[in-house]
Chains A and B, each alone.
Chain A
């Protein structure tokens, strides 16, 4: 649960970005800046909630920069995404340099009243930081918006066929910017969850490829927020498995490979399945929209 929450929050953000037709490979960069900013603000103000807020803002700002490049300037999305990742890694270590080895005020867990009193499953299921519940509620809410509301149709049509959406009077640029900025905020928040709840500390390069795993999970969940919950739980399982296998004398380095190898396997499965389902991918993913007059 604890291990999968940051992945879920991030994956939900990435799903919205990609649904609107923007391929964001900068997730790792946004996530780690979110982690650094969240930690820095939390330890300066002594208030972890301020840290979370700051990480959302930082994620939004980075995503907006990315949006300007790829939505308005039609920059190549693969290169821009890689660039954003590199930039984020560098920026985060500059921001976080002062905070290495300092404990931060970390978020207390909020047991749900009554439910957490149930023996055995109570403490197991209902005694987490509020972000855990938040992420699951967001998954349901975002699924509802995407599939059951007018706004969701607008987002999906922009991702499938921006020209057709434009003809219907949907502002393609606006939808893409909104989705990108929203997604960036979510990914930034997932970074702050790492540095304030999961670890909790600032370590350089602490996201350790989780931003990329988010992108893989987005594909695995077929761009569907509800399926993302399942994918992410599977993943949290792999991460926890590492710690349980350690006493059996398996080298730490080998166990560290598990999530990455799992990602590759997950991608293989997803690409096979998507062939069967005629690919759930937004048709215009990665293509800039040029409105020609």
Chain B
């Protein structure tokens, strides 16, 4: 209990273990508004009218049919990465390597698509999804294994592996996999038709990946709420020592949650490379893996909350693209939104941790 005296009024902060859902929702919305308000000041200093900028974002995303379909396109990889992060973050494992795991999924899918081009479509699609999942999961297993066996800080290793994955992708597209008929661009040849994910006609929504994302979202919800694994993850995240006393196999739980997280990011990578780009090239992701960290926290590690946060972010991404084109802003501006929202979410969290009582 912390007490602050202001004359006759006493303000007491009482620590609480579980915050009411309403408080969490209100603080999250408040955080987004405060962050957007702060970013307005930044935009103003660049002589950009923030009202116009935010209107552009809305107009570019949800006020047109094309915009809405694009929001769904961005939603797919973002949701996959975020759902994966829910479990690891709950277990207190800081996997910030979603981006690298996504790239590995993309590289693996490209490998199958380019080097076994004669697989029939009925085998090809499952094959690229499965190999993408495996590649992402293996990439996530490296830091997971180092963490449980040597106690190596996973924040640093996952981030370093993101950079390594980026270089690995560069190696393939500049080196052995560079397409012959690509006019010198560093990218692979187009995938064979049966390795291209089908679209909902007239859009870029590759619905197979969307269905996978929804499937995994539901699965995650069930794992989180209804299974022993979900319970064990929560115990480990809350208190590692009590988890040990309770006889929970920490090795197993950390590795499984990292496999799920890496695998889902890998599938997101498959979707980007086989669904959107249809070839492997640098910058297939505008940082979905990093944005997923923001959406996962904004959604308070709750599958429903995370879905909403992801949807909000998809709007921001699509609208942000429009904004860049119309106002000539650098692509990294999305990072300012990411950073400021996450900063305010972290800062405002004190409200959910303490109950504030005012006594006269």
Contacts and interface: CB of A to CB of B under 8 A. Distances in A.
Interface of A: 25, 29, 65, 68-69, 73-76, 78-80, 82-94, 97, 204-205, 208-209, 212, 215-216, 219, 251-254, 256-257, 260-261, 263-264, 267-268, 271-272, 275, 290-293
Contacts of A68: 347
B312 interface: no
Interface stretch (B20-28, B119-127, B332-340): B332-340
Interface in B56-99: 94, 96
Interface string B215-227: 0000000000000
A268 B150 contact: yes
Contacts of B155: 25, 78
Contacts of B339: 29, 83-91
Contacts of B163: 208-209, 257, 260
A86 B342 contact: yes
B161 interface: yes
A267 to B, nearest CB: 5
B170 A204 contact: no
B171 A251 contact: yes
B167 A257 contact: yes
6 cross-chain pairs, A with B, having the tightest CB-CB distances, nearest first: A87-B339, A90-B335, A90-B336, A83-B342, A253-B171, A86-B339
A81 to B, nearest CB: 9
B202 interface: no
B151 A83 contact: no
Given A73-B347, A253-B168, A253-B175, A293 B2 contact: yes
B111 interface: no
Interface in B98-154: 146, 150-153
Contact of A87 (B168, B330, B336, B353): B336
Interface of B: 1-3, 42, 46, 94, 96, 146, 150-153, 155-157, 159-161, 163-164, 167-168, 170-171, 174-175, 290, 293-294, 297, 329-343, 345-347, 349-350, 353
B38 to A, nearest CB: 10
A209 B160 contact: yes
Given A79-B346, A254-B171, A271-B153, 11 more contacts: A75-B350, A87-B338, A90-B332, A90-B333, A251-B175, A253-B171, A254-B167, A257-B164, A263-B160, A268-B146, A293-B1
Nearest to B172: A253
Contacts of A80: 342-343, 346-347
Contacts of A86: 290, 294, 335-336, 338-339, 342
Nearest to B332: A93
Contacts of A204: 330, 332
Contact of A260 (B153, B164, B334): B164
B348 to A, nearest CB: 8
B337 to A, nearest CB: 7
Contacts, number: 156
A106 B175 CA distance: 36
Contacts of B338: 83, 86-87, 90
Contacts of B151: 271, 275
Contacts of A76: 346, 349
A159 to B, nearest CB: 17
Given A256-B167, A290-B2, A94 B336 contact: yes
Nearest to A86: B339
B167 A271 contact: no
Given A93-B335, A97-B330, A292 B346 contact: no
B164, B330, B334, B340: which has the most chain A beta carbons within 10 Å? B164
A83 B336 contact: no
Contacts of A88: 339
Contact of A257 (B168, B346, B350): B168
Contacts of A89: 332, 335, 339
Contact of B150 (A260, A272, A291): A272
Contact of A69 (B94, B331, B341, B346): B346
A79 B342 contact: yes
A73 B345 CA distance: 11
13 contacts: A69-B346, A79-B297, A79-B342, A82-B293, A86-B338, A91-B42, A91-B339, A92-B332, A94-B332, A204-B332, A216-B156, A252-B174, A291-B2
Contact of B336 (A73, A91, A97): A91
Contacts of B160: 209, 212, 216, 260-261, 263-264
A264 B165 CA distance: 14
B330 A94 contact: yes
